[in-house]
Amino acid sequence: MGAELLIPNRSQADDSRRLTGTLAASRAAEKTPAGSWAAETRRYLRVFLTFARNSLIRDMTFRADFLFHCISSVAWTLMNVGFYLLVFRFTMMIGPDTGWGRDEFFLFLATVWFINSLVQAFFIPNANEFSELIRTGGLDFALLKPIDTQFLISFRRVEWSSLSNFAVGLLIAGISLHGLATRAESPVYLTPLTLSLYLFFVGCGVAIMYSLMISLAATSVWLGRNQSLYDFWFYITNFSRYPMEIYNTPWGRPLLGLFTFVIPVLVVVNVPARILARPLNPRADWEWQLAVWAVIATGLCLIASRWVFRQSLKSYRSASS
């Protein structure tokens, strides 16, 4: 440290030359247009990749934690598999005449795990951190950056270990698809069309879950950090984990309506899973209507979450230290 005091004696001309060089370069840099749409997309993509890379570097410095998190989340999933295998010892189907037999239902579960692992890997850590940033005033830095704030906040962290459940989902989906395609009675095959529709609607599902979560996280601007809100999210999304037919009872219909049209968590898994598993053969008209609604609901949710996010930024007070 002592050496630092001596530095002012160093050739100032040297410093000066180097800094002027930088100045010229920075002016030149400003001339390059960042405006074109393709260039902007590339910039956003590169930022996202850097986030993903940095998160991975971070995870690798705490390797034991990483590994343990992978193992324990896979263990939870396998326990769930065990539970549903147990259930199918007693019944052929979930709900009478719904078509959710064992293979169909496990394809449904695989979809649950796909969507959940994506949400957990990409969004839950960020939503948590968002509330924390609001509380501590750390959001300041995000607001300073010349990039969309919601983008910056939503993709900062990737929790790679949560994707281990994605792998389990793939395995189970593979087994179920094989079972569906090889059964004697009306086999269901995977086609390029159903697969691409499936991927599209899984994307919609993730978007709906994301919108819900970021909106809830944004409310911490007004409510402060509120643990019950997160519990609320968990309990609400819990409704999306089963085929929607199970709510089709006199008691359940209000819930069915609420979670399809007001907080559309029921379309998240149901729509893509139905496309791939084809529980009803031939497909019913309402299934197509539901798919169209899922697209509309995705759009509405994204718009609503964007609106809530913007409102929350307006009320942000930037706690100092």
Partner 1 sequence: MGDPHSATFASEPLPPVGIGDRVRTWWVIIRTALAERMAYRGDFALGTLMRFLPIITQIFLWGAIFDAVQTADQGGADSSLRIGGYNFPEMVAYFLLTMVARAFSSMPGLATGIANQVRQGEIKKYLIQPIDLVGFLLLTRIAHKLAYYTVAIGPFALVFFLCRGYFTDGLPPAHVLIAFVGSLVMGFLIGFFLEAAIGMISFWTLEINSLLLIFMLFSFFLSGHMFPLTLLPDSIGWLVNLLPLKYLAFFPAAIFLRKIPDEELAGELILEAAWLAFFIIACRWMYARGVRRYSGYGG
Partner 2 sequence: MPIIEVRELTKSYRVYRKREGLRASMRGLFRREYTEVEAVRGINLRVEAGEFVAFLGPNGAGKTTTLKLLSGVINPSGGTATVMGFVPWERRNEYRRRFALVMGQKNQLWWDLPAQESYRLHQQIYGIPEDHFRRTLDELTDLLEVTPLLGQPVRELSLGERMKMELIAALLHSPEVLFLDEPTIGLDVIAQHTIQRFLRQYQERRQTTILLTSHYMKDVAALCQRVVIVAGGLVQYDGSLAGIVDQFSGKKIVTLQFAAGNRPEDLARLGTILETQWPRVKIGIARAEVPRVLATTLRDYAIEDVSVEDPPLEDVIADLFHQVS
- Nearest to partner 1 of 34, 75 (CB atom): 75
Tokens of 117: 């692992």
Q: Applying CB under 8 A, which part among 11-19, 75-83, 97-105, 235-243 lies near partner 2?
A: 11-19
- Nearest to partner 1 of 90, 189 (CB atom): 90
* Sequence-distant (≥ 6) Cβ neighbours of residue 124 within 8 angstroms: 159, 162, 213
Among 82, 187, 257, 299, contact with partner 1 (rule: CB under 8 A)? 82
Among 30, 83, 186, 321, contact with partner 1 (rule: CB under 8 A)? 83
Residue with tokens 């078509």: 99
| Neighbour-count burial of 116, counting CB atoms closer than 10 A to its CB (0-12 exposed, 13-18 middle, 19+ buried) | buried
**Binding track, positions 119-158, relative to partner 2; x by CB under 8 A:** -----------------xxxxxx-xxxxx-x--x------
**Nearest distance in Å: CB 317, partner 2:** 6
Taking the C-alpha atoms of residue 114 and residue 172, their distance in angstroms, rounded to an integer, is: 11
DSSP H helices in 183-284: 192-218, 220-223, 227-237, 253-257, 266-277
CA distances from 98 to 110, 210, 234, 258, 277 (A): 18, 29, 26, 21, 12
Taking the C-alpha atoms of residue 250 and residue 254, their distance in angstroms, rounded to an integer, is: 8
Among 125, 137, 203, 252, contact with partner 1 (rule: CB under 8 A)? 252
Tokens of 57: 């570097």
Interface positions with partner 1 (CB under 8 A): 68, 72, 75-76, 79, 82-83, 86-87, 89-98, 228, 231-232, 235-236, 238-239, 241-243, 245-247, 249, 252, 255
By CB under 8 A, name the binding residues for partner 2. 1-5, 7-8, 12, 15-16, 18-23, 25-26, 28-30, 32, 34, 39, 43, 46-47, 50-51, 53-54, 57-58, 61-62, 136-141, 143-147, 149, 152, 314, 316-318, 320-321
